[in-house]
Structure 1
Amino acid sequence: MSDHETLTHLQSSWPGTEDYLQRVGQVTNDLMVLRELRERESYEASLTWLDRLGYDLSDVTAVPTGMQVLRFLYGRRIVVKAAMQLPVLQELQQELDAEETDRDVREDQTLELPSAEDAQLWAVPELQRKLIAWALETAQRHGFEKQLTVAQAVMLLNVVSMLEAEPGMSPEWAAESLRSVLSSGLFEKDENPQR
């Protein structure tokens, strides 16, 4: 659909008005919607590698649970000590210890916390700091030199998780995919933490 057709369609959805200021507001809204549609198309075009993996934009921007972030970091030998001070995680670890297993609660791939406890985990400043530090180090290895937000760090976590889940992923193709997301308009635009 061309820009003109899109604008015509948007204009037809507004109720008719003779009020000049309402009409200007409607036109301004239509132009903003059109700009957002065009930006989204350019983001999606810059992330064509997602299609090859069978993912879409919502997979890249999905907010993981705090437990998923904790597991991800722990899998990279990044320990978030403050997280283990949360009563729910202490209790779960005590249960594992009572079973006399050498397992760590942070290794359990099936464990998800109730939403209130997971929100507490996400609110642990050390978790967010260490996620951003990991993401910054990863981004710098691929030529990105700016500071990162939690939302951008989450995007990198999602992309790295997708790439690691792919069997036979070559390091070169994984690096190219990461560079693609780092240079995308979507990554640049996401400057504010969304948690």
Structure 2
Amino acid sequence: MSNKKKLSPKQTTEIINELKLRFQNHINRHQNIEWEKVQNKLEINPEKLWSLNEMEKTGGEPDVVGYDKKTNEFIFYDCSPETPKERRSVCYDRKALDSRKEHKPKNSAIDMANTMGINILTEEEYKELQKLGNFDSKTSSWILTPKAIRDLGGALFADFRYNNVFIYHNGAESYYAVRGFRGSLRV
């Protein structure tokens, strides 16, 4: 692991404390999961802790939303009420970014997620997140787009309006001030 993707002892303590506080304040998201087990996994996976810190720094408010017994991994999603603020105004992927001739956004959702070491939520994951609360009631989030749709130039995004989750399509090169992306991470 490069030094660039390693937190200092102070940063490690800060992010663990932030995650613990959020965990305690939102027990409904992770019933039957013990914080001590989560913290132990975090402490032995510094590269994953770095990624969670990146999620936090960009406004994602990551929290534990599940546990996969088969892989022995805790699952984190961005749980900010609206799509993470520092990940907005981005198109879908590098191909879309490169296709824009003018007014290019600063980045793409897929590139940012890869740099952060996280995955963009799938449609199923996005719908699961919405069972834990109301997210994206004023914003929208890119979601992982099937290859067949992407090959035709499209990309999918989702939001929550009128007490329902909506899945939409747009040109992958489009970007809006209120559209970003949510990520997931397994630890």
TM-score, normalised via structure 1 length: 0.23
TM-score, normalised via structure 2 length: 0.24
Larger Rg: 1
